């Protein structure tokens, strides 16, 4: 079996596709930026409408295979860049005036199920967890990072209360020999957790999330990606984000609520019409979630939250308050380790 064939055998379901399409309405044409191309589910659905153009981005070079299929089919209306979405501004020098910019965060089914990538607990291959364009792998992180720093990462990025206990256990193991595979790491974490047989999910879930987020600097990417997207959108442009865990959703929600017109006037002495301290007109406070039917057919959609906001005509200003609010995540992911 060749690589392409094996890739195509994995089923991939774009999460909340119908809801995303009804928000961005590609049937009326326009230019769209798909910041997380993955298997191309969203891009393909947009390109089905003849008046559309799609600029797609993914940091994973594996995504190129799927992009090539769309490039063949829509050579004039589709472009793909293997890049991180925090570099959105580098790719789009010309004034694109996108109708919508979309983020569907996290991992694709292809990344998750590819054992060589090391994202799954069962992977007996190299402890990698890199999405693409990384500075270090999970192997480097787990085997060389200072124990206290590791505990912090597990606690904050994994929201794992036993961060310290797990980091201690990892440190004891790696003193004897390097931890080579994800399966080995999962076992060590399981042993560090009390009553690990009683958990509904694998007890290593939160720690794996933390390591993956750190290795890929996912929160930094999201913070910078949202800022770049707001910069690129003009009046009426839509910013839509599908997130999968509470840290991501907290960042998206804060960005929209800090910079939407619904925010209370910072000073009651400032007339509302002079308040240019926002970037979005409209923002739904409650996220949109997948319906029961979708959750039944695709369990991944269970934790998905879709939020969107509509850009207003205020001139872009750098959203320092937002960046400052999450500076701890930025610092934590900076690492400065090696």
Question: Could you tell me which stretch among 103-111, 173-181, 200-208, 284-292 binds ligand SAM (CB under 6 A)?
Answer: 103-111
Q: What is the rounded CA–CA span in Å between residue 45 and residue 151? A: 42
User: Which is nearer to ligand SAM, 173 or 214 (by Cβ)?
Assistant: 214
Question: Could you tell me which stretch among 31-39, 255-263, 288-296, 329-337 binds ligand SAM (CB under 6 A)?
Answer: 31-39
Q: 59, 117, 152, 311: which one contacts ligand SAM (CB under 6 A)?
A: 59
Residues from 105 through 144 that contact ligand SAM (CB under 6 A): 106-108, 131
Task: Please list, in sequence order, all residues whose beta carbon lies within 8 angstroms of the beta carbon of residue 163, skipping any fewer than 6 positions away.
Answer: 151, 152, 153, 154, 155, 156, 210
Question: Could you tell me which stretch among 32-40, 68-76, 180-188, 249-257 binds ligand SAM (CB under 6 A)?
Answer: 32-40
Q: Which two tokens stand for residue 160?
A: 């794992």
> ∠229-300-142 over CA atoms, to 5°?
80
Q: Does 42 bind ligand SAM (CB under 6 A)?
A: yes
DSSP states along 79-115 = EEEES-GGGHHHH--S----SEEEEE-S--HHHHH-G
Q: Does 305 bind ligand SAM (CB under 6 A)?
A: no
Q: Does 14 bind ligand SAM (CB under 6 A)?
A: yes
Question: Could you tell me which stretch among 52-60, 118-126, 134-142, 310-318 binds ligand SAM (CB under 6 A)?
Answer: 52-60
Query: Residue 160: what are its φ and ψ, rounded to 5°?
Result: -105, 115
| Residue count, binding to ligand SAM (CB under 6 A) | 21
Which of 204, 190, 192, 226 lies closest to 329 in space, CA to CA?
226
Q: How far is CA 335 from the centre of its chain?
A: 19
Give least dist CB 47 to ligand SAM, A. 12
Q: Does 319 bind ligand SAM (CB under 6 A)?
A: no
| Cβ-contact 225, 172 below 8 angstroms | no
Q: Where are the alpha helices (DSSP H) in 74-204?
A: 88-91, 109-113, 138-144, 147-157, 163-176, 182-192
Q: Does 237 bind ligand SAM (CB under 6 A)?
A: no
Q: Does 84 bind ligand SAM (CB under 6 A)?
A: yes
Q: 30, 38, 98, 203: which one contacts ligand SAM (CB under 6 A)?
A: 38
Q: What is the rounded CA–CA span in Å between residue 177 and residue 155? A: 24
Q: Does 220 bind ligand SAM (CB under 6 A)?
A: no
Give least dist CB 66 to ligand SAM, A. 8
User: Which is nearer to ligand SAM, 27 or 303 (by Cβ)?
Assistant: 303
Give least dist CB 103 to ligand SAM, A. 8
| Strand, helix or coil for residue 126 | strand
Give least dist CB 79 to ligand SAM, A. 14
Q: 160, 221, 228, 248: which one contacts ligand SAM (CB under 6 A)?
A: 221
The burial class, CB within 10 Å (0-12 / 13-18 / 19+), for 159 is: middle
Strands (E), the chain: 30-34, 52-58, 78-82, 100-104, 238-243, 280-283, 288-289, 305-311
Q: Does 248 bind ligand SAM (CB under 6 A)?
A: no
User: Which is nearer to ligand SAM, 86 or 312 (by Cβ)?
Assistant: 86
Q: 19, 31, 32, 41: which one contacts ligand SAM (CB under 6 A)?
A: 41
Q: What is the rounded CA–CA span in Å between residue 47 and residue 24? A: 13
Give least dist CB 332 to ligand SAM, A. 17
Interface positions with ligand SAM (CB under 6 A):
12, 14, 36, 38-42, 57-60, 63, 84-85, 104, 106-108, 131, 221
């Amino acid at each position: 079996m060749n690589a392409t064939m094996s890739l195509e055998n994995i089923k991939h379901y774009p999460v909340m596709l119908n809801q995303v399409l009804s928000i961005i309405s590609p049937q009326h044409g326009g230019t769209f930026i798909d910041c997380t191309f993955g298997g191309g589910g969203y891009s393909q659905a947009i390109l089905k409408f003849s008046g559309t153009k799609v600029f797609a981005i993914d940091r994973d070079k594996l995504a190129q295979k799927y992009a090539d299929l769309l490039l063949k089919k829509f050579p004039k209306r589709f472009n793909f860049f293997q890049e991180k979405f925090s570099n959105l501004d580098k790719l789009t020098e010309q004034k694109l005036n996108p109708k919508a910019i979309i983020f569907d965060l996290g991992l694709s089914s292809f990344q998750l199920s590819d054992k060589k990538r090391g994202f799954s607990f069962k992977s007996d291959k190299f402890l990698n967890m890199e999405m693409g364009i990384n500075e270090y792998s999970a192997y480097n992180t787990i085997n060389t990072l200072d124990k206290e720093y590791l505990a912090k990462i597990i606690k904050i990025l994994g929201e794992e209360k036993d961060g310290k206990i797990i980091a201690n256990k990892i440190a004891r193991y790696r003193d004897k020999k390097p931890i080579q595979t994800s399966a080995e790491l999962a076992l060590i974490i399981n042993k560090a957790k009390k009553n690990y047989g009683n958990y509904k999910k694998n007890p290593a879930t939160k720690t794996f999330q933390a390591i993956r987020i750190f290795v890929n600097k996912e929160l930094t990417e999201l913070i910078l990606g949202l800022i770049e997207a707001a910069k690129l959108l003009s009046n009426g442009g839509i910013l839509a984000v599908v997130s999968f865990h509470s840290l991501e959703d907290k960042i998206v929600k804060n960005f929209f609520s800090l910079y939407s017109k619904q925010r209370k006037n910072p000073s009651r002495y400032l007339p509302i019409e002079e308040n240019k301290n926002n970037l979005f007109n409209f923002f739904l406070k409650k996220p949109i979630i997948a319906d029961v039917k979708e959750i039944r057919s695709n369990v991944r959609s269970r934790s998905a939250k879709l939020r969107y906001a509509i850009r207003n005509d205020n001139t872009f200003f750098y959203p320092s308050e937002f960046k400052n609010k999450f500076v701890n995540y930025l610092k934590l992911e900076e690492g400065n380790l090696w």
